[in-house]
Amino acid sequence: MVDIGTRLGPFDIAALPIGAYAPRWFMQEQHMDPQQSVRLYQQLNEPRVIPIHWGVFELADESLDEPPAQLSLALREAGVEQHRFYPLKIGEHLEVSPNS
């Protein structure tokens, strides 16, 4: 995935998974955790991100509200500004325009 931004980009916005990751020993081959999503964001040359696969169904061992909290921590640890990720809750929307 390291070259995905070069091969397929540039990307203005990306939908990256942040949920259904626990326990890692079992889910690591199927689902990314928030830290991996932040690393992929950096490899994609830092587009805006809508986090997906969280907050609707309990698909794994983490609570429904844990992925955004872990994402916030991962962003802080990576030195990435929080406003680059838009973890929308059910019913929320995001207007996207070419200049936004």
Tell me whether residue 24 is in a domain.
yes
Cα 32 to Cα 40: distance, rounded to the nearest angstrom: 10
pLDDT single digits (tens) 42-77: 999 899 999 999 999 888 999 999 999 999 999 999
When divided into structural domains, the chain yields a total of: 1
Domain of residue 46: give its range. 13-84
Q: What is the mean pLDDT of residues 13-22?
A: 94
Q: Running DSSP on this structure, what letter comes out for residue 85?
A: B
**Cβ-based neighbour number of residue 32 at 10 Å:** 20
Structural domain contains residue 71: yes
8 — pLDDT class (breaks 50, 70, 90): confident
The Cα–Cα gap between 52 and 67 comes to: 10
Query: What is the pLDDT confidence band of residue 97, given thresholds at 50, 70 and 90?
Result: confident
